[in-house]
Amino acid sequence: MRVTLLGAGAWGTALAVHAAKYLPAGDICLWSRSMQQLEEMKRAGRNSAYLPEIDLPVHLQFEDDLETAILRLSEDDLLVIATPMSALAEMVKQVLKIAQHPLNIVWLCKGLEPHTALLPNQVVERENQLHSHGLTHAFGALSGPSFAREVALGMPCALTVASKSPTLCADVQAAFHHGNMRIYASDDLVGVELGGAIKNILAIAAGISDGLDLGLNARAAVLTRGLAEMMRLVKAAGGRPETCMGLTGAGDLILTATGDLSRNRRVGLELAAGKPLTHILGGLGHVAEGVLCAQAVGSLAIRLEVDMPITTMMGEVLSGNVTPHEAVKQLMGRDPKLEV
């Protein structure tokens, strides 16, 4: 099976490194919009901008031409969109315009579209309505607890692919379920995608809690009540709340909110230290999706009439309307209620 990954950031590169260990030489192709980055990866055998410590497999193919990267795939192969959420719509549009036969397309991004509050699969469906030229592609999301660095080092990891197409799920398993990576399948795209978006916002909250030295009890409270918010929104949006107890919900929440490799958690820690958000983001060198989708999740919650106090408060902190200290005070000052 051939795999093309679009986007050579930390996660796209790590998955390419993993797959290249198990699929025949030349089957894995990594595309980047940056010719300079590709040249550097070829020359140095490393992705110094996004995954500096990892040696890239020698038989990993690099491609800067999007058409070539897509047209090398047959109907049985797999296309992985590995860009951040902000690039998903444009990326999918370009893919659909280039495709000459049905493709299996899976995306890795975790977030919502900021101005529409659409989930990734809804963004893809919108573009598909406009640009599919009558071809019937299969779509899905691959998500779950997975720091790129650990995956690239070959450490154990379990993920979930969510799709309405069992064939696409099987293709993703054929590509990535090898060695130290397990891939589970689900048909709950809404549950999987909302879990991935909300856990990033909660990781910022956990970072703030830890950065302010509020203690381990406080962090457990943030995560548990945050998980309750996630389950409520998933249910209201038509997903299954129990998906939130799996890898893409609780699993990724535990990882991101407690693991210091998380960019979102780091944003929270640095906000608590009083650094301005623009300064923090400038220093990250990577995307922190929770920052970009907190307002969108808040507006989706309002539209679906779901109470999400922690998530909504993070939107206020990230907008600069409320300080981290004031956010804690307001959340702790809420009226008593049933634990639902």
Ligand X SMILES: NC(=O)C1=CN([C@@H]2O[C@H](COP(=O)(O)OP(=O)(O)OC[C@H]3O[C@@H](n4cnc5c(N)ncnc54)[C@H](O)[C@@H]3O)[C@@H](O)[C@H]2O)C=CC1
Residues placed in the known binding site for sn-glycerol 3-phosphate: 110, 144, 146, 199, 252, 262-264
Interaction of residue 192 with ligand X, rule CB under 6 A:
no
Q: Which of 37, 47, 264, 295 binds ligand 13P (CB under 6 A)?
A: 264
In which residue are the tokens 């639902």 written? 340
Strands (E) located in 101-180? 104-107, 138-143, 157-162
**Rounded Cα–Cα distance for residues 250 and 199 (Å):** 8
Q: Which residue has the tokens 């720091």?
A: 147
Instruction: Tell me: does residue 112 bind ligand 13P (CB under 6 A).
Output: no
> Min. distance of Cβ 273 from ligand X in angstroms?
22
Residue 99 lies near ligand X (rule: CB under 6 A)? no
Distance CA 6, CA 69 (A): 8
x/- map, 198-237, ligand 13P, by CB under 6 A: --x--x----------------------------------
Dihedral angle of Cα 245, 247, 253, 256, to the nearest 10 degrees? 170
Q: Choose among ligand X, ligand 13P, none what residue 10 binds, the Cβ cut-off being 5 to 8 Å by kind.
A: ligand X
Which among 13-21, 181-189, 222-230, 259-267 is the span making contact with ligand 13P, rule CB under 6 A?
259-267
Annotated binding site for substrate: 110, 263-264
> Can you point out the beta strands (E) in the chain?
3-6, 28-31, 61-63, 78-81, 104-107, 138-143, 157-162, 181-186
Q: Name which position in 186, 243, 256, 312 contacts ligand 13P (CB under 6 A).
A: 256
Annotated binding-site residues for NADPH read 11, 33, 50, 110, 148, 263, 287, 289
Residues 6+ apart with CB under 8 A from 84: 9, 109, 111, 287, 289, 292
CA trace torsion 185, 17, 66, 84 (10° rounding): 60
Q: Which residues contact 112 (CB under 8 A, 6 or more apart)?
A: 85, 118, 119, 120, 197, 293, 296, 297, 300
Contact between 145 and ligand 13P (CB under 6 A)?
yes
**What's the CA gap between 336 and 155, in Å, rounded?**
43
Question: With binding defined as CB under 6 A, does residue 252 bind ligand 13P?
Answer: yes
Annotated active-site positions, please?
Answer: 199
- Is residue 50 within the footprint of ligand X (CB under 6 A)? yes
109 is an interface residue for ligand X by CB under 6 A: yes
Sheet with 78-81, edge to edge strand ranges:
61-63, 28-31, 3-6, 78-81, 104-107, 138-143, 157-162, 181-186
At closest approach, how far in Å is the CB of 75 from ligand X?
Answer: 24
Candidates 3, 4, 5, 11; binder of ligand X (CB under 6 A) is 11
Pick between residue 109 and residue 328 the one whose CB is nearest to ligand X.
109
Residues in contact with ligand 13P by CB under 6 A are 110, 145-147, 200, 203, 252, 255-256, 262-264
Residues in contact with ligand X by CB under 6 A are 7-12, 32-33, 50, 82-85, 87, 90-91, 108-111, 146-148, 286-287, 289
